[in-house]
Amino acid sequence: MDAGEIFGQSTGFLLHRLGVGAERVIERTLSPFDLRAKELRVLGFIRGEGCSQRELVDATGLDRTTMVAVVDRLEALGLVERRRDPSDRRKQSVMRTERGARRLTEAAAALAAAETEFLSPLSESQRRTLNAVLAELFVHRRPEC
């Protein structure tokens, strides 16, 4: 068996290659919304009453430096705003604006359609199974992701 065959059958290699392909689809899909995947992820994790950047770091898996840059960009686009936390004036809450909520809804719908197309070679049953297996693995490997 040559190296191409070994890697072609390796689960890790397949996950990596599909991840790269999926990332390209995601970024291409989000481009018309002037968003990157990290930015949409942050928009999606903001609760209605807002949350701190620290909470967003924990929820999204992004590091603090990246989170600052992402929130800065989302704020510049008018999709979020920072507000002082009324219970602790030292903290700031990140709130999604109405414009941000609309952009999230539109971009998420486009992303769902792109995902359906990306997974179209699989049956509905296979898609559910793939999602369940990946979700289970993610539960156990989340700190590493």
**Amino acid identity, position 83:** R
Domain that holds residue 130: 3-144
Locate 84 and state its tokens. 């002082």
**What pLDDT, on the 0 to 100 scale, is given for residue 2?**
63
| pTM of the predicted protein model | 0.84
Are 111 and 44 spatial neighbours (Cβ–Cβ below 8 Å)? Answer: no
Does residue 141 register a pLDDT over 70? Answer: yes
Does residue 143 register a pLDDT over 70? Answer: no
- Gap between the Cα atoms of 76 and 78, Å rounded: 5
Place 100 in a pLDDT band, splitting at 50, 70 and 90: very high
Which CATH number covers residue 114?
1.10.10.10
Domain count, the chain: 1
Does residue 45 register a pLDDT over 70? Answer: yes
Are 35 and 96 spatial neighbours (Cβ–Cβ below 8 Å)? Answer: no
**What pLDDT, on the 0 to 100 scale, is given for residue 101?**
96
Are 94 and 46 spatial neighbours (Cβ–Cβ below 8 Å)? Answer: yes
**What pLDDT, on the 0 to 100 scale, is given for residue 68?**
94
**What pLDDT, on the 0 to 100 scale, is given for residue 85?**
75
Locate 115 and state its tokens. 């995902």
Averaged over 11-36, what is the pLDDT?
A: 95
User: Greater confidence, 118 or 8?
Assistant: 118
